[in-house]
Amino acid sequence: MRLAVIGAGAVGRSVVDLADEYGHEIVAVADSSTAVVADGADGGAVGVDPDAVVARKAERGIVGDHDPADALAADYDVLVEATPTTLDDAEPGFSHVTTALDRDRHAVLANKGPVAERFGDLRAAVDDSEGEVRFEATVGGAIPAISTVEDIEPGHVTAVRGVLNGTANFILTRMAAEGLDYDHVLAEAQDLGVAEADPSFDVDGTDAALKCVILANVLSFGAADDPADAREFTLDDADVDGIRDVPGSALRLAAEDGRTVRLIGEATGETVRVAPRLVPENGTLAVSGTQNIVQIETSHAGRLNISGRGAGGPETASAVLGDVGRLE
Amino acid sequence: MSDSRDGVPEAAADGEDATPDGGHAAAAPSTHTVRLELVDEPGQLLAALHPIADNGGNLLSIYHERGNKTPRGRIPVEVDFEATPEHFEDIVEALRNEGVNVMQAGTERYAEEVTLLLFGHLIDTDLSDTLSRIEACASASVADVSLAAPQGTEEVSSARLRLEARAGETEAALAAVRELANEKELRLVEPLTGVEA
């Protein structure tokens, strides 16, 4: 498949880097201000040199000499949307995806915005297109959460829950293990690059909530006979509580009783909830460090647990490239 | 074991009761008390006693408080009987299936345990008032409290509470605590109930 990668952060760069290994060709790459487009992209065979893109981005902060719009107009089969997640109108990611759909091309998202905030609009755009949209990378990084739900069929999945934010999980794990307070562990996480300078998105539960909203949309639309009857979820429908003010003393009291606290997200076709919850210390959901886990509750097949790396460039790119493979 | 099932054909219905007097190492029967609420109509008492005898309970005494009325205008009845723990569960279930309101069922009064954390200005917001208001909620009782106030009583402190809730009422008990926490601006960490992780 010929890929146009929009967004040159950790995920976009990893997709560019790994595409060849998965048998795909990069025909365009764009970041927010520049782009590179393959020579003779409308029939030619000369793709973009991944190493050169990654090197230019690292050295000069640009991916090429073209305008980003040129990448959107390039001759690709699949547009990979890997720009940062934005809320509300989910722009510019949403328009990038619809640009591809309008041209009857596929889109694969790593950006949560369009599927969390405008799932209904996106469905409508897909209905009018020959192209399809896939978004495995938006939930749980490398963990195949969405395709597993699709395999089981959303109508036979009663709930999906889990630990969906590695930063919050790292902080809670370290607080419990070292008996330290939140601020101390957050500083450590920032030094290690596990937490961002502004950690609000992770520690306030927003990131986990977006993932749960996406799962709720998959369950709701997937189970409905007619998409018009499906309930659409956005972040506003989620009941969200973060971990910012959880004191070390609370984790110590939990540990004395064989329990610990994890930021747990839960999605059904009716509700989305993210909150710190008490779980058994050695239980399945008490994954450590930046690890994520997705637990799928089914009608006929019991409970499925899938744990793994919930973030990271190559991990998330593997989910993106898995989606690309499903579109072949 | 009891001989109370003489003449009760249903007793052998579910197989495992086929040898009621055998010397097998089943859990020993113990005495249970259930408080029932009956409508003041003929035949109601008999209808309530059948599920006990039919499910392997050995009736010991019946205290029929005919002069008393429950708040719903019904008659409270206290029944003592012997049963193994398994039979006891079956009996309470059978009573409920018969439509008999079981107000209190021996050790089963608080069948579900739930542990939660509260944190915030627990002491400034009157912890004992918080606890007694949780107790006042009909569906739960506070079984155990552990408090940690590492920075002194005026700073943020944490508490671990173990509540005992009546069967099926854990969610109602949690909702009551949630509301109270909200009112007192305390943070609540709820357990993930229904998920044996």
pLDDT in tens, B114-171: 899 999 998 888 888 898 888 877 677 888 899 998 887 778 899 999 988 876 788 8
Q: Which of residues 252-291 of A touch B (CB under 8 A)?
A: 252-254, 256-257, 259, 261, 264, 275-280, 283-286
Residues of B within 8 A of A257 (CB-CB) are 115, 146, 160
Per-residue pLDDT at B21 exceeds 70: no
- Where does the pLDDT of residue A313 fall: very low under 50, low under 70, confident under 90, or very high at 90 and above? very high
Q: Is A161 on the interface with B (CB under 8 A)?
A: yes
At B136 the three-state DSSP class reads helix
pTM attached to this predicted model: 0.79
From the list A245, A259, A283, which residue is nearest B115 (CB)?
A259
| CATH class for the region spanning A145-309 | alpha beta
Residues of A within 8 A of B195 (CB-CB) are 161, 285, 295
What mean pLDDT, rounded, does chain B reach? Answer: 77
Residue contact B117–A247, C-beta within 8 A: no
Say whether A112 is catalytic: no
Chain A interface disruption, residue of B121, B160, B161, B174, most A CBs within 10 A = B160
How far, in Å, CA of A80 to CA of B119, rounded?
44
Q: Which pLDDT value is given to residue B106?
A: 57
Q: Is B116 on the interface with A (CB under 8 A)?
A: yes
- CATH tag for B9-108 (out of 3.40.50.1370, 3.55.40.20, 3.40.50.1010, 3.30.70.260): 3.30.70.260
Same fold, A2-141+316-326 and A145-309: no
Q: What is the DSSP letter of B100?
A: -
- pLDDT tens, position by position, A112-123: 999 999 999 999
Q: Which pLDDT value is given to residue B96?
A: 83
| Alpha carbons within 13 A on the beta-carbon side of A157 | 32
- Where does the pLDDT of residue B71 fall: very low under 50, low under 70, confident under 90, or very high at 90 and above? low
- CATH tag for A2-141+316-326 (out of 1.10.10.10, 3.40.470.10, 3.40.50.720, 3.40.50.620): 3.40.50.720
Q: Which pLDDT value is given to residue B109?
A: 52
Residue contact B158–A256, C-beta within 8 A: no
How far, in Å, CA of A265 to CA of B195, rounded?
13
Residue contact B119–A280, C-beta within 8 A: no
Are A191 and A184 in contact, with CB atoms under 8 Å apart?
no
* Rounded average pLDDT over A148-160: 96
Say if residue A241 is exposed, middle or buried (CB neighbours under 10 Å; 0-12, 13-18, 19+): buried
A-B C-beta contacts closer than 8 Å: 73
Residues of A within 8 A of B146 (CB-CB) are 253, 256-257
Per-residue pLDDT at A268 exceeds 90: yes
Residue contact B190–A247, C-beta within 8 A: no
Q: Which pLDDT value is given to residue A141?
A: 93
B37 or A272, which is more confident: A272
From the list B158, B159, B197, which residue is nearest A279 (CB)?
B197
How far, in Å, CA of B32 to CA of B61, rounded?
11
Pick the catalytic residue from A105, A211, A259, A273: A211
Residue contact B115–A261, C-beta within 8 A: no
Q: How many CB atoms lie within 10 A of CB B58?
A: 18
What pairs with residue B188 in β-bridges?
Answer: B118
Single-letter amino acid code for the residue at A282? N
Q: Is B170 on the interface with A (CB under 8 A)?
A: no
How far, in Å, CA of B183 to CA of B64, rounded?
43
- Where does the pLDDT of residue B80 fall: very low under 50, low under 70, confident under 90, or very high at 90 and above? confident
Residues of A within 8 A of B122 (CB-CB) are none
Q: Is B119 on the interface with A (CB under 8 A)?
A: yes
* Rounded average pLDDT over A247-271: 95
- pLDDT tens, position by position, A228-243: 899 999 999 999 999 9
Find the Cα–Cα–Cα–Cα dihedral B144, B148, B149, B151, rounded to 10°.
Answer: 180
Architecture category of domain B111-189 in CATH: 2-Layer Sandwich (3.30)
Among A45-59, A114-128, A239-253, B16-30, the range scoring the smallest mean pLDDT is B16-30
Residues of B within 8 A of A247 (CB-CB) are 119, 156-158
* Helix/strand/coil (H/E/C) assignment for every residue in A188-246: HHHHCCCCCCCCHHHHCCHHHHHHHHHHHHHHHHHHCCCHHHCCCCCHHHEEECCCCCC
Residue boundaries of the structural domains of chain A? 2-141+316-326, 145-309
Per-residue pLDDT at A261 exceeds 70: yes
Per-residue pLDDT at B15 exceeds 90: no
Residues of B within 8 A of A240 (CB-CB) are none
Per-residue pLDDT at A45 exceeds 90: no
Same fold, B9-108 and B111-189: yes
Residue boundaries of the structural domains of chain B? 9-108, 111-189
Residues of A within 8 A of B114 (CB-CB) are none
Chain B interface disruption, residue of A240, A249, A293, A305, most B CBs within 10 A = A249
Q: Is A244 on the interface with B (CB under 8 A)?
A: no
Q: Which helix (H) or strand (E) holds B188?
A: strand B187-191
Q: Specify the length of chain A in residues.
A: 328
